[in-house]
Amino acid sequence: MAKLKLRGKDLMKIGYPEGPAIGMAINMMLKHYKRSSKEEVLNILADVLARPEEFKNDRVLGRIVRTMQAKEEQKEIELGPLIEDYPIFGASNIQQEALNQMNTALRLPISTGGALMADAHAGYGLPIGGVLAVDNAVIPYGVGMDIGCRMSLSLYNLKPDFLENNRSNLKKILVDHTRFGFNAFDSPMDDEVFSRSEFKEIKKVKELKQKAVSQIGSSGSGNHFVEFGIVRLTDENNEFGLPLGEYMALLSHSGSRGFGANIAQYYTKVAMEKCLLPKEAKHLAWLSLDTQEGIEYWLAMNLAGDYASACHNHIHQRIAKALGEESIAKVENHHNFAWKEKLPNGKEVIVHRKGATPAGKGVLGVIPGSMTAPGFIVRGKGSALSFNSASHGAGRLMSRRKAKESITKKELRMMLKKHQVDLIGGGLDESPIAYKDIKEVMGFQRDLVDVLGSFQPKIVRMAGD
């Protein structure tokens, strides 16, 4: 007899609600009814669904009944009153949908405060550019799908004329030593991150190890990039000990690849099963850090952040070797993460920064503009008002769909030519026209960061070539 095969959609066809009962039913039937036909098994499960009380005390089928009833007995969590008067930086530039999402997040019973950055726009659950502090819990969608997404900047002892005189060779270096989207290196480099105990101790992380190994050193699609450009240092008290002036630099933006995305998807589903919220708040489901699932996600999130950092290190190592140059200064910071931090009153909270740059006092970071607009090297001022945060970029002015529908290839080519930028890959959805004015965004956060210098892109590599 053929081996019994059951899928979730088979059970959903006979009326089982999406959720833990399906998993329990599949596990029980594969274990105890593996010699039965698929038709016989589905008939039994249909009977259990139709007359659960008759099977409640059955040694095997009773477990399915109890799982279904536990789900039914779960009560929807009510939202509380809005935490009002939270700071909004650049409110005039933020669309209502992002404000609505932030307002919903600040009605969660676990929320203690938050702020909205000047680059904010709508996302899933917490808006991009949203900062949310909560009590002893973590929200997977408050962190985001691309866990630990980050910026990494390397400065070289090379002047702007080197870039202008070697554009062709530098473009080839980017093509040869970067990979985007579903592409990866045929021979990825090893990394000590793979010796971490989480790869053995957390079931979901263990399942994803081979994916992480195969994608190390590569970048995602969308707004992720690796680019050469010119840094202009303007603060003579910069932490690098470098004189004012211009330097060739490499800037990369990417995250934890499919590894982080799968962790986010899995633990978001777990959170949504355990934390029933109204429809408008369902993507803000949380995991208590007192539970096994919450602890697992926290460890997996931190591992994904370190993996993202390792990916950037590999990118910069490969390109430095191809250049034959060592970096003379480096800045790295991440967003799409959650941190344990103390408020001024001493209370410990979990601060989610979904598309927001850490800007604690003295903390360095990079806030990019677009493929033609400058980015900025910044030093945090440690503003309690913004929960030690700043924007993570210019922020989208148009959705990807609207950008593709309204921007032409000719417009993009003209803008690139005007700013003397070479683009490898990239799509209309990443056109500079689709982004807010970075200088305006920076103006809204003068109280949050000091600017040490700027980065002007010149050769940009993205997915889609």
Q: Write down the domain spans for the chain.
A: 8-73, 91-136, 148-257+304-461
Question: Which tokens is 159 given?
Answer: 């002047």
Kind and range of the H or E run holding 251: strand 245-254
Confidence band, pLDDT 50/70/90 cuts, at residue 392: very high
Q: Which residues pair with 340 in a beta bridge?
A: 350
Condensed to tens digits (0 to 9), the pLDDT of residues 160-217 reads: 999 999 999 999 999 999 999 999 999 999 999 999 999 999 999 999 999 999 999 9
Confidence band, pLDDT 50/70/90 cuts, at residue 394: very high
pLDDT of 465: 59
pLDDT at 231 over 70: yes
Alpha carbon distance 118, 94 (integer Å):
7
pLDDT of 105: 98
pLDDT of 301: 98
The residues near 183 (Cβ < 8 Å, ≥ 6 apart) are: 218
pLDDT of 227: 98
Alpha carbon distance 210, 257 (integer Å):
12
pLDDT of 18: 77
Confidence band, pLDDT 50/70/90 cuts, at residue 124: confident
Query: Does the domain made of 148-257+304-461 have the CATH classification 3.30.2350.10?
Result: no
Q: Which residues pair with 224 in a beta bridge?
A: none
Sign of CA dihedral 341, 346, 349, 354: negative
In the block, residue with structure tokens 């931190």: 302
Condensed to tens digits (0 to 9), the pLDDT of residues 411-464 reads: 999 999 999 999 999 999 999 999 999 999 999 999 999 999 999 999 999 998
pTM listed for this prediction:
0.85
Alpha carbon distance 278, 352 (integer Å):
21
Condensed to tens digits (0 to 9), the pLDDT of residues 67-106 reads: 888 765 567 899 999 998 999 999 998 999 999 999 999 9
Question: Which tokens is 428 given?
Answer: 């209309």
| Burial class of 417 by CB neighbour count within 10 A (0 to 12, 13 to 18, 19+) | exposed
pLDDT at 1 over 60: no
pLDDT of 21: 87
Sign of CA dihedral 184, 313, 251, 147: positive
Cα 454 from chain centre: 24
Confidence band, pLDDT 50/70/90 cuts, at residue 19: confident
Question: Which tokens is 343 given?
Answer: 């408020």
377-394 in b/e form (b: 16+ CB < 10 A) is: bbbbbebeebbbbbbbbb
The residues near 28 (Cβ < 8 Å, ≥ 6 apart) are: 60, 61, 63, 64
DSSP three-state, residue 399: coil
Condensed to tens digits (0 to 9), the pLDDT of residues 283-300 reads: 999 999 999 999 999 999
Average pLDDT, the chain: 94
Phi-psi region of 53 (alpha: psi -120 to 50; beta: other; left: phi over 0): alpha
Condensed to tens digits (0 to 9), the pLDDT of residues 26-77 reads: 999 998 998 899 999 999 999 999 999 999 999 999 999 988 887 655 678 9
pLDDT, mean of residues 362-383? 97
